[in-house]
Structure 1
Amino acid sequence: MTHPAPLPLSPYCPSSLAEQLLSGGQRVLLFGETGIGKSTLTAELARILSERGLTCFCIAADPGSPGFGLPGTVSLGQWRESGWQVSAFEALCTLDAGRFRLPLLSAVSRLMQKAPLGLMLIDAPGVVRSVAGSELLTGMVGLLKIDTVLVLNRQSKPLPLMNELLSLGIRILPVHAHPEACRPGQKTRAHKRTEQWRTYLAVADEITLDLADLRLIGSPPPIDVPDAWTGRQCAFVDTERTISIGEIIALQDGKLHIQLPAAAATTRTLLVRDARCEKNGLLVSAAPFASGNLQFLPPPDAMPYPTTDYSGGPRPAVKLRGMYATMVNGVFGDPLVHLRLHQQQRSLLFDLGDSGRLSTRIAHQVSDVFISHAHIDHIGGFLWLLRSRVGDFPSCRIFGPPGLIGHIKGMIDGILWDRIGDTGPRFEIAEIHGNRLQRARIQAGCGDCVDLPEIQFAEGLIVDDPQFTVRTVTLDHHTPVQAYAFESKAKFNVDNTVLKTLGLDAGPWLNELKRVIGAGDTAAMIRLPDNSSREAGELGALLLAVTPGEKLVYATDLADTAVNRAALTALAYKADFFFCEASFLEDDIDQARRTGHLTARACGEIATAADVKQLVPFHFSRRYETRPEEVYLELSAACSRVIMPSKSR
């Protein structure tokens, strides 16, 4: 396969570039990745051309990092002596040009129609990869009738979207980025855009509108989750024309409280998307809101056996990338979460309550068990695991609080093992004592435990597997209990377009690149198929797109104390799924205190403080078996991200 020859980069010289632009058409698109210097060069070109008597206009088309104008918008400006002067803008209420590329293209097209005659520079978003980058590039060139694409790029990188650029049939000017151009970090960009937004709203009024009187467009969050509205950018529009833009203060009792610049006009149509000022004050893209209704069912190898006598109430099941987590016994039954690592044919268990609904095949594939504490409803299912693993199976690791070795040994020793030979189940047991693991190995029918060397660990990290990590904290239930945080490791995906552009063939070297990047060793040298070598960090920046890992936290049986709250909030911070007990209603708080359990309200408050994406409550007291909706109601009053059965909403 032949690859297009790389286009040479012209030196970074604004005055020379201005001369080249004068010899071409009137519409120039500046294209390149975020932080490459597009906005800086746009302003420099406008200054030079203005000094030569030309009227110069620009559309700032990056809503996340606009060269001028407001974040969350695209703006039309004219160059004056003091810089860009905004003459019109269109609200997008998003910072994500890639996700909302169609609304962005429509908004930029409307601004172009308003622009007077003159040289027009378009400062494009820094989306230069994948389908989003391709569609934005070709869409802007076609809609805006671009004459020239000025591509800013670094010498060490292939030209982004090379094939798309060459297929446009217009003039392409590849230009070397300024040597000092650098990609700003996410926090830097967030602080800059937040400062711009706060300056805009410095003189603002609060208005109150009845939500029922408004036509909502865009991608607003659910109306029944008021917390999801607070801080969102919103814009009043009229036939796709922006009238005003502001920020939602609150949604209360069906009324929207909105902060708008003084004397700003309103309409009946309100645009809301995902640009939002979070609790820390920064203007960022809000996480996509997930519905609380749970419709997902995992595949058969992850599901418990169906039974006619099941009485555990709602049985949550959630999906992560390549994994499924199921509350085996429902919210009223014994605690037991089955986490199925589907692609690895491997299972992890969090607690070991009644296990009779799980298949023997699952027991064969359990590699690790994480016990919160040794009360019978949390460890009684060990006998199922013990019986199911008689045979030639690898050792199963079991983690838990102090005393676990004795508890496991006691259950094994209570059985006569005279006919199994060397096929007795094998276990490695690790008791968590502060920052060390006290370990022992035991095989049923083979005598006493064998002590293993202790392992020291830091920051709660008790498992560091190639695919995931598990961390723990010790909490108080009038006895030590362990809460656990499972987190899958980031995935590295190869950009095949860049791979082809570089003329490299796929091979084992890509796995080595992923491995060293995952380990943080960016200075490692990677040998390529042509026997040359390059630094892993350089190759990773060119070739790898990172998919972050996902986090699931499991916590049950803990007293509502300040120490417990602080420790669990830290462990569960930003978790994708937070499995947490909600044993009693607030009306029964005395019982919760006596027994060392959380109320539903406390559970919701911890989840909210930890800013989890989804709360999966469980371990409800059976006193609420006929009225679980009361538990869910109390939970939802304290947390807006509770996974609830449909009939309880």
Structure 2
Amino acid sequence: MRTTLDVRLLDPTGNEPGLVVDLRDERRALLFDLGEIERLAPRVLLRASHAFVTHTHMDHFAGFDHWLALALGRVPHFVLWGGPGFVDQLEHKLRAYTWNVVHRYEVAMTIEAHSFEADGTRRHARFTSVDRFARGDFEVEAPSSDDRVLLGEPLFDVRASLVDHEMPVLAFAIDEKAQVRVAADRIAARGLATGAWLRTLKDAVLAGASDDTPIDVEWSDRGGRHAERFNVGELRPLVLDTVPGRRIGYVTDLRFTPDNVERLVALLEGADLLFIESVFLDADRDHAARKNHLTAPQAGTIARRIGARKVVPFHFSPRYRGREAELRAEVAAAWGGVVHDA
């Protein structure tokens, strides 16, 4: 089935960290980590609405400058999430530049920065081009149902948990919400055409709306533009069925410790798709411990504990260029399944 989110690694080889999540039918994308994003087409970067940064090591965050240079004067709003101290770090990055003309750009830019602190609190700031990216702190209401939710939307949630890499790092879960399939032939038979009203109908059906709930339907065809009001009961026959969404995990840069494993199980149990770093071969496990990274068998063990249904290893050490198949094989042996490349 065609899903809400189209997910792929930033680097098709799996060597560099980063995840791209395209929101189908919305011309919008989410980015997870901002490392070597130069390999992404500008059209992808310009439609990104949010970036979720695991931590600010250069290979995960140095690409922010590339995004900023591309987006200035084009992108009006961008949201970033990071771990402890992230708001302060972004402020320092912006203050490193001279902004003597940016306040006159025709398209003003607002950057929202949010940090998920070690004690579970959150900090928030805005940086606007009209104010030459001076910092302005603000407060937002924290989610009440799950304190790990960073972004909640009708189609998906993004949740996070801190893990240890000899520094705090964010691991992410992307939870697609249940999806409704509609029948294109039934839509045509009613003399209608697809449009934004379908999203309204789907949301209403998923929310259990009553049959008398009104839905405003607007569509265009050869006869011109049309608008008509129906109710959910009249449109419900267009719906085929409801299917559950997926849970997608993005995990990178962490030690193999019992506490980290338990945190990941709590965040990602039953994940349908798990992207997990697999940096070193088992023969180099001592080096992996010194570097605070996972070996391929450790990544596979975590995937098994989580109960992941599909696993994509990535973030391979440069020492294994051309030997990535060995890393994937060790992940597969520990996980007990067939791993996939990017």
Q: TM-score, normalised by structure 1?
A: 0.45
Aligned to 2:167: 479
**TM-aligned CA distance change 1:527 to 1:623, over 3 Å:** closer
Answering whether residue 55 of structure 2 is matched by residue 359 of structure 1, we say no
8 Å CA contact 1:495, 1:545 repeated in 2: no
Q: For residues 145-183 of structure 1, what are the alpha-carbon distances to aligned partners after superposition, in whole Å with 9 as ceiling and x for unaligned?
A: xxxxxxxxxxxxxxxxxxxxxxxxxxxxxxxxxxxxxxx
Equivalent residue for 2:221? none
Aligned twin of 1:410:
92
Residue 627 of structure 1 aligns to which amino acid in structure 2?
R
Equivalent residue in structure 1 for 2:125, among 403, 423, 440: 440
1:411-466 CA-partner distances (Å, limit 9, x unpaired): 11111222333436431011013544311101246252111113312422211123
Structure 1 CA distance for aligned equivalents of residues 135 and 314 of structure 2:
35
Contact 1:613 1:641 in 2 (8 A): no
Once the two structures are superposed, the pairs formed by residues 14-93 of structure 1 within 5 Å of their partners are none
What is the aligned counterpart of 2:338 among 618, 637, 641? Answer: 641
1:537-548 residue pairs with structure 2 within 5 A? 543-548=239-244
Among candidates 326, 338, 351, match of residue 9 of structure 2: 326
Contact 2:276 2:314 in 1 (8 A): yes
Aligned to 1:591: 287
C-alpha change, 1:417 and 1:515, in structure 2 (3 Å) is: same
Q: Report the secondary structure of 1:558's partner residue.
A: coil
Q: Are the structure 2 counterparts of residues 438 and 540 from structure 1 closer, same or farther at C-alpha, using a change threshold of 3 Å?
A: farther
SS of the equivalent of 2:138 reads: strand
In 2, the alpha carbon distance for the partners of 1:643 and 1:326 equals: 12
What amino acid maps onto 1:448 in structure 2?
A
Deviation at 1:644, TM superposition (A): 4.0
Cα offset, 1:553, TM superposition: 1.2
- 1:600–1:634 contact (8 Å) kept in structure 2: yes
**Residues 609 and 540 from structure 1, CA distance in 2 versus in 1: closer, same or farther, beyond 3 angstroms?**
farther
Letter in 1 for 2:169: V
1:385 aligns with 2:31: no
Residue 553 (structure 1) aligned with residue 241 (structure 2): no
Alignment check: 8 A CA contact 2:299 2:331 kept? yes
Q: Give the AA of the match of 1:551.
A: R
Is the Cα contact below 8 Å between 2:182 and 2:238 reproduced in 1?
no
Deviation at 1:326, TM superposition (A): 2.9
Partner of 1:557, secondary structure, is coil
Q: Compared with structure 1, are the counterparts of its residues 512 and 415 closer, same or farther at alpha carbon in structure 2 (3 Å cutoff)? A: closer
Q: Where do 1:153-552 residues align within 5 Å?
A: 323-328=6-11, 330-333=13-16, 335-423=17-105, 425-433=109-117, 434-444=119-129, 446-457=132-143, 458-459=145-146, 460-494=148-182, 512-519=200-207, 521-522=208-209, 525-527=212-214, 543-552=239-248
| AA of the residue aligned to 1:364 | L
Deviation of 1:332 after TM superposition, in Å, equals 2.5
Larger radius of gyration: 1
CA distance in structure 2 between the aligned counterparts of 1:543 and 1:365, rounded to whole angstroms = 30
Give the counterpart letter for 1:556 in structure 2: T
Take 1:361 and 1:498, find their aligned partners in 2: how far apart are those partners?
Answer: 34
Is 1:608 the equivalent of 2:304? yes
Aligned-partner SS, 1:421: helix
Q: Deviations over 1:244-289 (max 9, x none)?
A: xxxxxxxxxxxxxxxxxxxxxxxxxxxxxxxxxxxxxxxxxxxxxx
Contact 1:586–1:599 under 8 Å retained in 2: yes
What's the counterpart of residue 58 of structure 1? none
Whether the 8 Å CA contact 2:250–2:274 is kept in 1: the answer is yes
TM-score by length of 2: 0.81
**Equivalent-residue separation in structure 2 for 1:599 and 1:514 (angstroms):** 43
Structure 1 pair 388–511 and aligned structure 2 pair: CA distance change class (3 A)? closer
Question: Residues of 2 paired with 1:499 and 1:390: CA distance?
Answer: 41
Residue aligning to 1:578:
274
Contact 1:527 1:533 survives alignment (8 Å): yes
**Alpha-carbon contact 2:285-2:295 (below 8 Å) kept:** yes
Q: CA-atom RMSD, angstroms?
A: 3.3
Identify if the C-alpha distance between structure 1 residues 524 and 430 changes in structure 2 by more than 3 Å, giving closer, same or farther.
farther
Q: Give the letter for the 1:554 counterpart.
A: Y
Give, in angstroms, the shift of residue 469 of structure 1.
Answer: 1.6
Q: Is contact 1:582-1:598 (8 Å) kept?
A: yes
Amino acid corresponding to residue 549 of structure 1 in structure 2: G
What are the ranges of 5 or more consecutive residues in structure 2 without an aligned counterpart?
Answer: 217-227
Q: Report the secondary structure of 1:343's partner residue.
A: coil
- Distance in 1 between residues matched to 2:5 and 2:37, nearest whole Å: 23
Aligned positions, number: 321
Percent of aligned pairs with the same amino acid: 30
User: Is the 1:488–1:549 Cα contact (8 Å) retained in structure 2?
Assistant: yes
Aligned counterparts of 1:379 and 1:531: Cα–Cα separation in 2: 48
**Cα distance, 1:378 vs. partner?**
0.8
AA aligned to 2:339 is: V
Distance 1:354 1:497, change over 3 A: closer
The whole-number CA distance in structure 1 between the counterparts of 2:229 and 2:71 is 48
User: Letter of the aligned partner of 1:437 in structure 2?
Assistant: R
- Higher alpha-carbon deviation: 538-547 or 549-558: 538-547
CA distance in 2, matches of 1:590, 1:601: 13
Matched residue of 2:173: which SS? strand
Question: Does structure 1 retain, via aligned residues, the 8 Å contact 2:158–2:174?
Answer: yes
Q: Which residue of structure 2 lines up, in the alignment, with residue 567 of structure 1? A: 263
* Structure 1 stretches lacking a partner, 5+ long: 1-318
**Deviation for aligned residue 1:486:** 1.6
**Cα displacement (A) at 1:576:** 2.8
Cα contact 1:580–1:617 (8 A) shared by 2: yes
- Give the Cα–Cα distance (whole angstroms) in 1 for the partners of residues 333 and 169 of structure 2: 27
Deviation at residue 552 of structure 1 after TM alignment: 2.0
